[in-house]
Chain A
C-alpha cells in the first residue's frame, strides 16, 4: 500500500486532557500530515487509511495483533476458523461467526462479504486486481454478469464458499486485507463513502469525519458481539476516543507531543528534530522497522521513459545516499523492487550511482521529447525529494517541471489515467502482506493499469514477466525454489529499469508522556496498531 505519510493533524482539542485510569479508557489526540485517502475499507489503499481502518472493519480473516513477524500471521477474524481449502487449492470454505452486529446494531451476514467484493469492482478499487482470481469476478467487473458466480453464501448458516480460477498462494492473505472486510448492503456500491462510512465491525467506530481536517474514532458499542462470538484474536480498544487531526507542520507536531498537547504523530519525526527527540525523550521514542520501498516511477508508455536507456540513466543518476540524507538517515539504500524482510529479497545493486554514466546513456538515447513533469506531494520530505529529482533531471538535460499536490489527493491523481503528463514522480509501497506478489502484482502487472485508483504508475506491461508472476502465484512461498524465482523476477524487472528505487524507510514512534509506551507498538503491515494505545 502507499503512504502519503502523514495526515496533518492540528489537534489541540480536549482529547489530550482525557481521563487515564489504570483500567484503560481516555481520549487521545493524534496528528497526521495527510488525511487518509479514503475512509472506505474497499477503497483505501494507503498506510494512513489502513492504520485507521484496521481496527474499524474486521475481515473474515485478520492478522495477529502482534509486533514483528508474529504480526504477519493470519488468524480468524469474523470467520469461525481458518478456511477449509480443497486439495486442488481452488475452493475455500469459511463460516461466519453467529450473532455478530455492526456498530449500528445491524446483523453481520455472510452475504455482506460478497457485497464487499462486489464494491471492489464497482467502486474501481486499486485492490480489485487481487480478487480477479475469484471465479466470475472478471465478468462482474466487465459488466457481463450481475453477480460474482464464484462466491456463494448462506445467511442463515453463515457458510461462505469461494471458488478460484486456480490455486493461489496468497488468497488467505487477501482475505485478511481491508478490501475484503464485510460491509452492509446499505453501503454505496459504486462510490466512495468517506463522508458517511459504513458501520463498524471492529473495536472502534468512525463517529465523525470532517475530511480532510479531522476524524473521530470511538469505542464500538457492538464490538462485544464480535468478541462474544469467539473472535479472541481481534483486539479490544484500549482508549475510549481517538481524534485524528491534520497538521501540515511536522516540526510543530513534534513540539506538540513533547509538550504533551498531542499524544502521537503518525508521521516519522522529521530529520532536523530526530537527534533532539532521541536524546531528550528516550523513554517515549523509538525507531521502528517497516517493510517498504521508495522509488521514482517512470511512465514506460510515453516518451522519454519508453526508452530503456533513459530509464537506466535515471537509475544510475539517482543517488540513494542523497535521498537518505533528506530522510535524516532513516533510509536503507536500495535499487530493487523487493525490500529487506520480504521473502524473495536478495540484495544486489544493478545501477551504482554514476552521474557520468547516466549522462552517457542519455546522450546515446538522445530523446527528442525532453519535457518532463515530475510529480510529488506536499509533505515536507516528499517535496524535497521532488525538488532533488527535478534538479537531477535538469542536470541530465531535461526540461523538468515539478508539480506538487496535496498528499490527500496525490495517489488518486497520479493513479488516474486521465490525469495528463504523469511522466515520473515520487512513489512508495508498503507491504500489504508478507508475500512478494504484493509488490509485483499491483505495481508492475499489466492488468494493474486501471482507469482510476491504479498503482502501476510506471504503466508497466511486460507479458512475459506477468506470466511468470501468475505462475508463481499458484505456488506456496514455502515451496522449494519459489523465493529464488521471486528474486529472479525482481532482477528481471530491474533489468528493464521499470522504476528507480532508492530506499527502504525506517519509521519512528513518539508518544506523549501520559501514553503507555510499552503497550503501544507498530505492526509490520498496518503500522501503528491503534488498539494498542493506552493511557497510563
Chain B
C-alpha cells in the first residue's frame, strides 16, 4: 500500500451536514436562531396565557370592569379614561389599553399574527419568485423579457407605497377574482400584498443564478439525454439554488414583518380590532406621552425578532455557501 494512504475508509460528508457544522461554529447566529424560536413559542403560547393567566381574549373590552390588585378593586379604565398601567399582577401584566384590553394578551396574539404574516408572505414570495426565476432563466428569450419587465414594474414602486395602495384598495371590498374571493378584513390580504411586492427582490437574483447554471455542462447533458424542461428545472436547476432560496426565505420573513408593521401602523395592514405588533404601535402612538410602553414594547419585539432573523439568515448563508454573495437588497 502506498505511503500516506489511510487504512480506514474516508467517510463522505453530506453537504447539509457540513453546513450544519459550519452553522454550529457560528455561536451568534445559532443563538439568534434559538432566540427567534423562543419568541415564536412564546407567541404560540398566547391562548395558554389568555385562558389560564389573563382570563380574557385579545379583543375583549373591559372598560367598566375592575380587577383585584393587592386586594383592592381597581378600575381597568378609570372614569377619566386612564387605563390601568403595567405592574406585577398576572392579569394586565403590561397594563390595559383604553378599551380595557389586556396589553400582554394582545402582544402575544399580535406576535402570532405578525410572525404568521411574515412567514406566509415569505412562502408566497418564494413560490412565485422561484417559478418566475426558473421560467425566465431557463427559457430566456421572450419569456425572460416579459417576466423581467413585469418584475421591473413591480420593482419600480417603492415597497411601502405599493403596499399602502394595495392594502387600502382591498380593505373595503376585498379581493374578488372569480373563484378566488378574499374578504377585506382577511389576514390573507396583507399576506398576498406583502408576498407580491417582494417577488422581484428574490426573483431577480435567483434568475441570475439560473442563467449561470443554464450554461453548465450538466444542463447540457440533461438536454442531450432528452429530459423535458420541467424535469430539468425541477430536477437539475432547482436543487442547485435551494440553499439560496432557504437563505432568502429566512431574510424575507424579517422584511415582511417590518413591512406588515408599517402597513398596519398606517391602517393598511391588519384590520382592527385584531392585534399585530404594527397595530399595537399605532394604537399606542396616541398615548405615547402618558403610556409609552404601549408603543415601545411591540416596537422592541419587532426589532429583536427582525434582528435575530437577519443574523440567523446571515449565518445560514455563510454556512450553506461561504462564497455566496446573497443580499436581499431593497
Residues of A within 8 A of B (CB): 249-251, 254-255, 270-276, 319, 321-322, 324-329, 378, 380, 383-384, 386-388, 390-392, 394, 401-405
Contact B80 A271 (CB under 8 A): yes
How far does the alpha carbon of A387 sit from the alpha carbon of B275 in the complex, in Å? 12
* A326 engages B273 (CB within 8 Å): no
Chain A residues positioned under 8 Å from B209 (CB to CB): none
Q: Which residue of A lies closest to B290 (CB)?
A: A272
Q: List 17 A-B contacts (CB under 8 A).
A: A250-B286, A272-B81, A275-B80, A319-B63, A319-B64, A322-B63, A327-B81, A328-B80, A329-B81, A383-B272, A391-B59, A391-B60, A392-B61, A401-B183, A401-B185, A402-B272, A404-B271
* Contact yes or no, A387 B99, CB < 8 A: yes
A325 B290 Cβ-Cβ under 8 A: no
* Cα A329 to Cα B78 with chains together (Å): 9
- Asked whether, in the complex, the Cβ of B79 is within 8 Å of the Cβ of A273, the reply is no
For the complex, give the distance between the alpha carbons of A401 and B80 in Å.
28
| B→A interface (CB under 8 Å) | 59-61, 63-64, 77-82, 98-99, 171-172, 183-185, 267, 271-273, 285-291
Verify A272–B64 contact, CB threshold 8 A.
Answer: no
Contacts of B79 in A (CB 8 A): 324-325, 329
CB pair B286–A403 under 8 Å, yes or no, is no
Assess A328 versus B81: contact at CB under 8 Å? Given A270-B286, A384-B98: yes
Pair B64/A321 contact, Cβ less than 8 Å: yes
Of listed A254, A272, A378, residue having the most chain B CB within 10 A: A272
Task: Pick the contact of A271: B82, B267, B285 (CB < 8 A).
Answer: B82
Instruction: Give Cα A394 to B172, complex, Å.
Output: 20
Tell me whether chain A's interface is mostly helix, strand or loop, or mixed: helix
Contact A387 B61 (CB under 8 A): yes
What is the chain B residue whose CB lies nearest that of A392? Answer: B61
C-alpha spacing A383/B289, complex, angstroms: 19
- Nearest chain A CB to B254 CB, angstrom units: 28
Q: Is the beta-carbon distance between A387 and B64 smaller than 8 angstroms? A: no
How far apart sit A426 and B5, CA to CA, in the bound complex (Å)?
85
- CB-CB nearest in chain B for A330: B81
**Once the chains bind, are A402 and B185 in contact (CB under 8 Å)?**
yes
Kindly list chain A residues whose C-beta atoms are within 8 Å of the C-beta of B60.
Answer: 391
Residues of A within 8 A of B271 (CB): 402-404
6 nearest interchain CB pairs? A271-B81, A328-B81, A322-B63, A387-B273, A272-B290, A391-B61
List of A residues within 8 angstroms of B273 by Cβ: 387, 390-391, 402
| Complex CA distance for A386 and B271, rounded to whole angstroms | 12
What is the interface of chain B mostly: helix, strand, loop, or mixed?
loop
**Nearest opposing residue in chain A for B267, CB measure:** A378
B172 — which chain A residues lie within 8 A by C-beta? 403, 405
Of listed A249, A270, A276, A325, residue having the most chain B CB within 10 A: A325
Q: How far is the CA of A493 from the CA of B82 in the complex (A)?
A: 35
Q: CB distance B80 to A274 under 8 Å? A: yes
CA distance A17 to B183 in the complex (A): 49
Chain B residues lying within 8 Å of A388, measured Cβ to Cβ, are 61, 63, 99
Q: Residues of B contacting A384 with CB < 8 Å?
A: 98-99
Known A251-B288, A274-B81, A394-B59; further 10 A-B contacts with Cβ < 8 A:
A251-B285, A271-B98, A275-B82, A324-B79, A325-B77, A326-B98, A329-B81, A391-B59, A402-B271, A403-B171
Q: Once the chains are docked, how many angstroms separate the CA of A328 from the CA of B60? A: 20
List the A residue with the shortest CB-CB distance to B76. A325
List, in ascending order, chain A residues with CB within 8 A of B267's CB. 378, 404
Contact B185 A272 (CB under 8 A): no
A324 to B291, CA, bound (A): 20
Measured CA separation A326–B59 after assembly (Å): 16
Asked whether B59 lies within 8 Å of A387 as measured between CB atoms, the reply is: yes
Q: Judging by beta carbons under 8 Å apart, are B289 and A387 in contact?
A: no
Measured CA separation A327–B63 after assembly (Å): 11
Q: How far is the CA of A263 from the CA of B161 in the complex (A)?
A: 32
How far, in angstroms, from A70 to B287 measured CA to CA in the complex?
Answer: 38
Q: Which residues of A contact B184 (CB under 8 A)?
A: 403
| In the complex with contacts A273-B290, A387-B273, A325-B78 CB distance below 8 A | yes
- Shortest CB-to-CB span from A510 to chain B, Å, is 14
With known contacts A401-B185, A403-B172, A322–B80 Cβ distance under 8 A: no
Given A402-B272, A405-B172, A380 contacting B286 (CB threshold 8 A): yes
Given contacts A271-B80, A328-B80, A383-B272, contact A322 B59 (CB under 8 A): no
**Inter-chain contact A249/B285, CB cutoff 8 Å:** yes
Of chain A, the residue at the smallest CB distance from B286 is A380
Q: Which residues of B contact A328 (CB under 8 A)?
A: 80-81
Q: Write out the residue numbers on chain A whose beta carbons fall within 8 Å of the beta carbon of B81.
A: 271-272, 274, 325-329
Rounded to whole angstroms, the CA-CA distance of A321 and B77 in the bound complex is 11
Q: How far is the CB of A423 from chain B (nearest CB, A)?
A: 14
Q: Which of these, B59, B64, B80, contacts A329 with CB under 8 Å?
A: B80
Cα–Cα distance between A383 and B271 once the two chains are bound (Å)? 11
Q: How long is the Cα–Cα vector from A378 to B168 in the complex, in angstroms?
A: 13
**Contact between B290 and A276 (Cβ–Cβ < 8 Å)?**
yes
Contacts of B291 in A (CB 8 A): 272
A404 and B272 contacting across the interface, CB-CB below 8 Å: yes
Residue of B nearest to A421 (CB): B172
CA distance A321 to B290 in the complex (A): 22
Cα(A392)–Cα(B171), bound, Å: 22
A256 to chain B, nearest CB (A): 12
Shortest beta-carbon distance from A247 to chain B in Å: 12
Which A residue's beta carbon lies closest to that of B63?
A: A322
Contacts of B171 in A (CB 8 A): 403
Residues of B within 8 A of A271 (CB): 80-82, 98
Name, among A249, A276, A401, the residue most crowded by chain B CB atoms within 10 Å (CB to CB). Answer: A401
Q: With a CB–CB cut-off of 8 A, which chain A residues contact B98?
A: 271-272, 326, 384
Q: Is the CB of A326 within 8 A of B63?
A: yes
Chain B residue numbers with a CB within 8 Å of A319 are 63-64
Establish whether residues B272 and A322, one from each chain, have CB atoms under 8 Å apart when the complex forms: no
Q: How far is the CA of A271 from the CA of B271 in the complex (A)?
A: 24
Which residues of B have CB within 8 Å of A378?
267
Q: Are A386 and B272 in contact (CB under 8 A)?
A: yes
A249: chain B residues at CB < 8 Å are 285-286
List chain A residues, Cβ under 8 A from B286: 249-251, 270, 272, 380
